Amino acid sequence: MEEAAAGSPGVAIQEHNPHDLGVHLCQLGPIRTEAGARPESQQKTSPLSGYVRRPHDRHLAALVSAAAAGDSGLAVLVGGSSTGKTRACWEAIQPLARQGWRLWHPYDPSYWEAALEGIERVEPHTVLWLNEAQRYFGAGQERGGRIASAIRSLLSTPARGPVLVLATLWPNFDNEYAASPSAGEEDPHASVRDLLSGRRISLPDGFDEDALKEARGLAAAGDRHLAHALAHAREGRLTQQLAGAPELVRRYLSAAPEGKAVLHAAMDARRLCAGLALPVRFLEQAAEDYLGDDDFDILADDWLEQTLRALGRSGHGNFAPLRRIRPRSTRTTAGDTTTLRLADYLEERGRQERSRLCPPESFWHAAHLHVIDPDDLAKLAREAYSRLRLRWAERLWRKAAEAGDTTALTRVAQIREELGDSAEAEVLWQEAATAGNGEALSHLARGREEVGEVVEAERLYRLAAAAGHGRARAWLIKRQEDAGDATARARLNALAADSGDTVDLVAIETYLHLCLQQVDMPAWTRYLTARDAANGDSEARAWLIEEAMKTGDFAEAERLLEILADSGDTETLSRLQWRWGVTGDRAEAERRIRIAADAGAVESRIEWAKWNRGELESLWPYGLEPDGTPSEQW
């Protein structure tokens, strides 16, 4: 094998410590050396249990064999926290280590920055390691799509191979990237969805009986890690036990009130899409309203230091509930920049048990004061908006806009429009358009079109299309095809390719047809009903629920709503909770909308009038406060 060129990213696989790559370590010290295991000298500093191969390992092994034979490939392992995704990847590449392959884990100065800068320099015989791939594919401002496109180019260029790309994802992120947008909506994950299509390997939460039998054999042969896991794990969840998840849960449940308050604030921050690194000052202030008056009044002056010390102590698997992120000495800045990271398993638990709760006032106030990353601010603003916490949504989006996020400007403009402040909204739309924001340009174009200024409208739509706005492309396609231009689509696709975006013509045509009322809606309803009966499609189930409500079968509607709520499909749930108002029961509709709002399942107040024939249009005109009371005008 030829030596990699100077400056190419990565080092030899055997030079990596698996812990640094995200493999969960055990706590009982060195273990027996099994075939293919790490050398004993490295086990003392990076202890791993014996490895039990399961069905997903066979899929990985085939991919690795193909890579060794010269064929580039990609696999994304999808599974919950601590299910063995990263360990499976590590075990799979050991044959490549023996052949001298390199491994590159992009993370410095940040995950997405390292990936964007270095993918072009990846040499053949390199494993590209994307553990927790949401750090890359979920980067805001189209960065995730650019990373996906760069990886696709790497894999499809024979001269750059063979390479192997291994990624891991939690199911909630995989579902987000896999979901196709509704007709007319923007599609921020198109490139990621295309890249991952057909390349997923799912991992089960637990070991099946065959795997448990093999684990028992390794335990009987002296593997203390597996013996301990087998003695304590339930439902075959050996990997979670090995990773120390139960101890994390025990510490969380038994934490003092102030410790639990800090953990709840961290859980809420992560489930509302804040970054991994949570500023300590944010958590300090956010935790206040998670405490009752009595608990808050008796806090010691150094309560935060005591709490962080307790939560930061390592336990099983060398994990802590909330651990300090050590800053790189060459990149420290003035002021207190201490950040903390919530343990993965507690983050996932928080997503499940707190999914229907809205964070309190102190959380939003702390986010506005202490969160500075524009992507994080925009994500938190969107979560506030989806909970009808409009006052905080506007404040967070304004701060993101001040940091240079032009899309945040358009969101503030939309809120001002909803509140009736059209003058300020227009100023904001103009400001965003001047900065080249496609959505703002498209908005201004629609305004010109409505007053008959078609030439100016087309000019603005072209600018918006060049900026990657799908609805602008839809308008241009329809206009040019209506004028008999058979080459319109080809030229617009070329424009999209130049801008690094992809035109989904099916979605565009669906959007246009819906706007022009060219769809047979009764036939569409029957189709969706049949689709739900066939495979449980949630969008189709929404129509079934509506039909049940119209016919007075509220028990069936309630049953299907609970299924949606348990599945975490908040988008569909949001459209159904307020449809209860169609039945004329305003009190019940209001109660359900409030529940949906707390869960982040209300996309827009404009939808209320749409689904309730204007009945709820005046409900909470200025949104809700974090405690659920109606907001006053601000």
User: What are the pLDDT digits (tens) for 312-363?
Assistant: 998 755 679 999 988 766 555 555 578 999 988 899 889 889 988 999 999 9
Quote the longest CA-to-CA distance of the chain. 82
Question: What percent of the chain shows pLDDT beyond 70?
Answer: 78
Sign of CA dihedral 229, 232, 238, 241: negative
Condensed to tens digits (0 to 9), the pLDDT of residues 81-127 reads 889 999 999 999 999 999 999 999 999 999 999 999 999 999 999 99
At residue 505, the pLDDT reads 44
**Separation between Cα atoms, residue 52 and residue 434, nearest integer Å:** 58
Place of tokens 């629920």: 545
Contact 606, 577 (CB under 8 A): no
**Separation between Cα atoms, residue 172 and residue 206, nearest integer Å:** 18
Which pLDDT band holds residue 286 (cuts at 50, 70, 90)?
Answer: very high
At residue 336, the pLDDT reads 56
Which pLDDT band holds residue 25 (cuts at 50, 70, 90)?
Answer: confident
**Separation between Cα atoms, residue 137 and residue 315, nearest integer Å:** 31
Q: Quick one: tokens of 573?
A: 């749930």
The ranges assigned to domains in the chain are 11-202, 244-371, 436-515, 521-612
At residue 208, the pLDDT reads 95
At residue 482, the pLDDT reads 72
CB-side neighbour CA atoms (13 Å) of 20: 12
Condensed to tens digits (0 to 9), the pLDDT of residues 213-255 reads 999 999 999 998 899 889 878 889 899 888 887 788 889 999 9
Contact 448, 456 (CB under 8 A): yes
Contact 221, 203 (CB under 8 A): no
Q: Quick one: tokens of 305?
A: 């230091």
Q: Quick one: tokens of 466?
A: 């060049």
Extended strands (E) in 56-101? 73-78
**Separation between Cα atoms, residue 431 and residue 444, nearest integer Å:** 11
At residue 40, the pLDDT reads 37
Contact 51, 91 (CB under 8 A): yes
Pairing of strands 163-169, 11-12: unpaired
Residue 55 vs residue 533, higher pLDDT: 55
Nearest-5° Cα angle at 173, 170 to 178: 120
**Separation between Cα atoms, residue 11 and residue 102, nearest integer Å:** 5
Condensed to tens digits (0 to 9), the pLDDT of residues 519-575 reads 455 555 555 555 554 555 666 666 677 777 777 777 777 777 777 666 656 556 655
- CA-closest candidate to residue 591, choices 601, 604, 574, 578: 578
Contact 190, 502 (CB under 8 A): yes
**Separation between Cα atoms, residue 204 and residue 191, nearest integer Å:** 27
At residue 553, the pLDDT reads 78
Superfamily (CATH H level) for 11-202: P-loop containing nucleotide triphosphate hydrolases (3.40.50.300)
pLDDT at 515 over 50: no
Pairing of strands 163-169, 126-130: parallel
**Separation between Cα atoms, residue 247 and residue 228, nearest integer Å:** 13
At residue 210, the pLDDT reads 96
At residue 44, the pLDDT reads 38
At residue 474, the pLDDT reads 72
Q: Quick one: tokens of 362?
A: 């102190």
Collect all residues with Cβ–Cβ distance below 8 Å to 322 and sequence separation of at least 6. 262, 263, 266, 308, 311, 312, 340, 341, 342, 343
Condensed to tens digits (0 to 9), the pLDDT of residues 462-510 reads 898 888 777 787 777 777 767 777 776 666 555 555 544 444 443 444 3
**Separation between Cα atoms, residue 64 and residue 77, nearest integer Å:** 14
Place of tokens 């063995």: 84
